[in-house]
Amino acid sequence: MHSRNIYRNNPPDFESLAKAYPVLQQHFKASQDNTVGVYNFQNPQAIIDLTQSLLNHDFQLDVQLPIENLCPRLANRLNYILWIEDLLNETTGSGIARQGLDVGCGASCIYPLLACRHNPDWTFLATDINHQSLLVARENVSANALEDQIRIVEKSPKDSFFDFSETLDFTMCNPPFYASPEEITELESFKHDKPRSKLLAHPNELITEGGEIQFIRKMFEDSYTYVFCNSLEKRKNHQTWFTTMIGKQSTLHTLIPLLKSKYQLDNYVITTLVQGQHTRRWVLGWSFGYHRASDSISRISQTNSPLKSLNPPVTEILVNLSSTEGFQAKLESTLSNLVRYGLSWEKSGEHLNVTVHRVRVPNDIWSRSFRRAWAKRQDDSSKPESKRQKLNDGLGYYLFTITLVSVKDPQLRIRWNYGVDFKIYESFVGMIKRACT
């Protein structure tokens, strides 16, 4: 569970909750020793009553959850939101108002409600194709006076997921995972353990034509269109993180190769959401922009995970130093020598023996081929800039952070924060390594 999840190592205290929310009292099975009984997770109404009580107790939210709809598991929904907060904070900056989109908000409208409670300066678009669910979602938004932050939009299945005029900072989705009722039955039969609680849901919440693979393939296509078939102004601002939950591990094995081959995209992120002891879900995110997330957010770290081979490129490389003596002078003179080719650098966060150098470069300016091209450009400096160069203005650069992480066994951590090409990052690390070790 995410380290900021309020339910991490902190399960609900049923006894005091039932005192504050008497509706829960009917759902305890009697115990023989006079202590509070066992909560009846097999009863769907008991799960709804518990979820509503927790939403009210922990988030001051008043939420209708119709019995025929999916009842959201709060710890899991929170994990996804907290991971998105981390992803946005470390890539596009913290403390910023955000515009999000929840594809398929359902009757509960759970993601926009929770996310806006947690982040009062965020705004959300929330879509669904189910008219009845949207009626309830609207009531949930207005019952909590969040109409200024959450706008509900009805869609049809053929519509683009992302045809909005707003600039979206991020999108999220808990899609219908399955292609048919038979697929659900088949997958249930493979499970060894009986789930602790019953899953009740409307068929459209669980089933979609072609299952989650087809749904997310359309999402890839629509995200590409949103970014590249829009005005130049929007294209320049194409930092949107598109994300979706994934219900089946095998889906990642199909979709990640597709992202790489069809869209030539290596800027994607994967995380695992652990939901109790029984269920595992994943979140896949992708961006056509060049902000790079840290390894802890973007990569599966468990050594024995079959998903490791699908991980995106690393963005943090450690370089061992034999000693720190003279290291800073060597590093700074190397960086200063490259300033004339367009590098800029600044020292920040120098405290407690930790030195952080932030370096911005336009390209692999340390390579021979760049130097040759640079010399030629000096000769051609009277020629007008090409159209392509103009289009790339503000995008074609790299940002790295170099941190001395330990003084005893000194190591440099070189983090790739921004930029299009992993090879240039690797080459930068090689250049710094040669200069400083």
Ligand X SMILES: C[S@@+](CC[C@H](N)C(=O)[O-])C[C@H]1O[C@@H](n2cnc3c(N)ncnc32)[C@H](O)[C@@H]1O
Cite the DSSP H helix spans in 280-421. 295-298, 327-337, 368-379, 387-391
Q: Is residue 106 within the footprint of ligand X (CB under 6 A)? A: yes
The strand ranges marked E within 301-343 are 316-320
> Which residue in the set 46, 48, 63, 104 belongs to the binding site for ligand X (CB under 6 A)?
104
> Which residue in the set 130, 240, 244, 315 belongs to the binding site for ligand X (CB under 6 A)?
130
Closer CB to ligand X, 47 or 321, in the complex: 47
Q: What are the C-alpha distances in Å from 217 to residues 103, 160, 312?
A: 14, 12, 19
Q: Is residue 247 within the footprint of ligand X (CB under 6 A)? A: no
Q: Is residue 317 within the footprint of ligand X (CB under 6 A)? A: no
Stretch that binds ligand X, among 124-132, 187-195, 338-346, 391-399 (CB under 6 A): 124-132
Residue 268 burial (10 A CB sphere; 0-12, 13-18, 19+): buried
Closer CB to ligand X, 102 or 364, in the complex: 102
Stretch that binds ligand X, among 8-16, 83-91, 128-136, 220-228 (CB under 6 A): 128-136
**What one-letter code names the amino acid at 92?**
T
Q: Is residue 211 within the footprint of ligand X (CB under 6 A)? A: no
Closer CB to ligand X, 110 or 429, in the complex: 110
> Which residue in the set 6, 17, 129, 338 belongs to the binding site for ligand X (CB under 6 A)?
129
Stretch that binds ligand X, among 100-108, 114-122, 182-190, 219-227 (CB under 6 A): 100-108
Looking at beta carbons, which pairs linking 297-300 to residues 24 or more positions away fall under 8 Å?
297/83, 297/86, 297/87, 297/90, 297/269, 297/271, 298/268, 298/269, 298/270, 298/271, 299/269, 299/270, 300/270, 300/271, 300/272
Stretch that binds ligand X, among 21-29, 101-109, 383-391, 410-418 (CB under 6 A): 101-109
Q: Is residue 212 within the footprint of ligand X (CB under 6 A)? A: no
Residue whose C-beta lies closest to ligand X = 104
Phi and psi at residue 342, in whole multiples of 5°? 115, 0
Stretch that binds ligand X, among 51-59, 117-125, 171-179, 392-400 (CB under 6 A): 171-179
> Which residue in the set 24, 63, 84, 110 belongs to the binding site for ligand X (CB under 6 A)?
110
- Please list, in sequence order, all residues whose beta carbon lies within 8 angstroms of the beta carbon of residue 290, skipping any fewer than 6 positions away: 267, 395, 418, 419, 420
Q: How many CB atoms within 10 Å of residue 147?
A: 11
Q: Is residue 364 within the footprint of ligand X (CB under 6 A)? A: no
Q: What are the C-alpha distances in Å from 312 to residues 200, 293, 295, 302, 413?
A: 35, 10, 9, 14, 18
Stretch that binds ligand X, among 104-112, 235-243, 320-328, 383-391 (CB under 6 A): 104-112
Q: Is residue 295 within the footprint of ligand X (CB under 6 A)? A: no
Site map (CB under 6 A) of ligand X, residues 18-57, x = contact:
----------------------------------------
Q: Is residue 174 within the footprint of ligand X (CB under 6 A)? A: yes
Q: Give the three-class secondary structure for 332.
A: helix
Q: Is residue 133 within the footprint of ligand X (CB under 6 A)? A: yes
- CA-nearest of 273, 292, 275 to 283 is 273
Q: What are the C-alpha distances in Å from 379 to residues 170, 342, 372, 376, 388?
A: 44, 17, 11, 5, 20
DSSP letter (8 states) at residue 386:
P
Stretch that binds ligand X, among 36-44, 127-135, 294-302, 426-434 (CB under 6 A): 127-135
Q: How many CB atoms within 10 Å of residue 275?
A: 15
What is the C-alpha R_g of the chain? 25
Closer CB to ligand X, 135 or 395, in the complex: 135
- Please list, in sequence order, all residues whose beta carbon lies within 8 angstroms of the beta carbon of residue 314, skipping any fewer than 6 positions away: 295, 299
Q: How far is the CB of 106 from ligand X (least distance, A)?
A: 3
Q: Which residue has the tokens 């353990």?
A: 193
Q: How far is the CB of 134 from ligand X (least distance, A)?
A: 9
Total count of residues recorded for the chain: 437
* Number of amino acids touching ligand X (CB under 6 A): 22
Query: Which helix or strand (DSSP H or E) is residue 99 part of?
Result: strand 99-103
Closer CB to ligand X, 90 or 212, in the complex: 212
Q: What strand order describes the sheet that includes 344-351?
A: 316-320, 411-418, 398-406, 354-361, 344-351
> Which residue in the set 53, 79, 91, 108 belongs to the binding site for ligand X (CB under 6 A)?
108
Q: How far is the CB of 324 from ligand X (least distance, A)?
A: 49
Closer CB to ligand X, 70 or 321, in the complex: 70
Closer CB to ligand X, 128 or 295, in the complex: 128
| Residues binding ligand X (CB under 6 A) | 70, 72, 103-106, 108, 110-111, 127-130, 133, 155, 157, 174-176, 204-205, 208
